[in-house]
Structure 1
Amino acid sequence: MAEADQLFLSDRARELYNGFTLKPEKSMMIVGSIYGDGSLLMDRKSRSPFFYENHCMEQLEYLKWKASMFGRPDGVRFRIMSHGYCKGKSIPYFQIRDRAFIDFEKMFYVVGKNGRRKKVVTKETLELLVGSALALAVLYQDDGEYDVYSNQAILNTCDFTIDENKIMERRFEELLRAPVRVKIKRQKYPRLVLSSKATDEFIKIVKPYVHPIMRYKIDQDISHYLDQQIVEKFRKNYRNMSKKQIAREVGLTLSETYIIGYRLGLTEHSGYVRYRDKPFTEQEKGYILKNYNESVAKLMAEELHTTTKYLRVLIHKMQANNLEEGKAGESICVQYNS
Structure 2
Amino acid sequence: HDVEQVLIGSMLGDGCIGCYPKYRDAWFTESKKIEHIDYLGWKAKILSEFGGSIREREGESGLPHLGSRQFKAAVFRTFVHPLFTQLRHIWYPNGKKVVPEGELQKLDELGLAVWYMDDGSYGVLTRSCLISTGSFTLDEQILTKDAFKEKWGLIPKIIPAGKGYGLDFLVSDTDKLLRVMAPFIHPDMVYKLGHIHPDNLGRINQMRRAYLERRRQREKERYHSDSTYREHILEHNRKCREEVRS
TM-score interval, smaller chain = 0.7 to 0.9
1:169 Cα offset (Å): 1.1
Q: Does 1:155 align with 2:138?
A: no
Which residue matches 1:174? 150
| TM-score, reference length from structure 2 | 0.74
Aligned equivalent of 2:29, options 33, 41, 52: 52
Which residue matches 2:72? 90
After superposition, where does 1:196-235 map in structure 2 within 5 Å?
196-220=171-195, 223-224=201-202, 225-227=204-206
1:80 Cα offset (Å): 3.0
- SS of aligned partner of 1:40: strand
Q: Which one scores higher on RCO, CA 8 angstroms, separation ≥ 6?
A: 2
Structure 1 pair 35/87, CA: closer, same or farther in 2 (3 Å)?
farther
Deviations 1:55-94 (A, max 9, x none): 1111111111111111279821122336678875332101
Which residue matches 2:100? 122
CA distance in 2, matches of 1:48, 1:84: 34
CA distance in 1, matches of 2:42, 2:143: 30
CA distance in 1, matches of 2:4, 2:75: 19
Query: Do the aligned partners of 1:40 and 1:49 also contact (CA within 8 Å) in 2?
Result: yes
Which residue matches 2:159? 183
- SS of aligned partner of 2:18: strand
CA distance in 1, matches of 2:56, 2:184: 26
Structure 1 pair 176/216, CA: closer, same or farther in 2 (3 Å)?
same
Structure 1 pair 178/64, CA: closer, same or farther in 2 (3 Å)?
closer
* Paired amino acid for 1:60: I
Query: Do the aligned partners of 1:59 and 1:213 also contact (CA within 8 Å) in 2?
Result: yes
Which residue matches 1:294? none
1:227 Cα offset (Å): 3.7
Structure 2 unaligned segments of length 5 or more: list them: 217-235, 241-246
CA distance in 1, matches of 2:92, 2:147: 20
- SS of aligned partner of 1:46: coil
CA distance in 2, matches of 1:147, 1:82: 27
After superposition, where does 1:1-338 map in structure 2 within 5 Å?
24-71=1-48, 75-81=53-59, 88-96=70-78, 97-111=80-94, 117-129=95-107, 132-186=108-162, 188-220=163-195, 223-224=201-202, 225-227=204-206, 251=213
Larger Rg: 1
Identity among equivalent pairs (%):
26
- SS of aligned partner of 2:158: strand
Structure 1 pair 150/128, CA: closer, same or farther in 2 (3 Å)?
same
CA distance in 2, matches of 1:150, 1:82: 32
CA distance in 1, matches of 2:136, 2:106: 16
Q: For this pair of structures, how many residues does the alignment match?
A: 205
CA distance in 1, matches of 2:123, 2:61: 29
Query: Do the aligned partners of 2:52 and 2:77 also contact (CA within 8 Å) in 1?
Result: no
Structure 1 unaligned segments of length 5 or more: list them: 1-23, 112-116, 231-249, 255-298, 304-338
1:151 Cα offset (Å): 2.0
| TM-score, reference length from structure 1 | 0.55
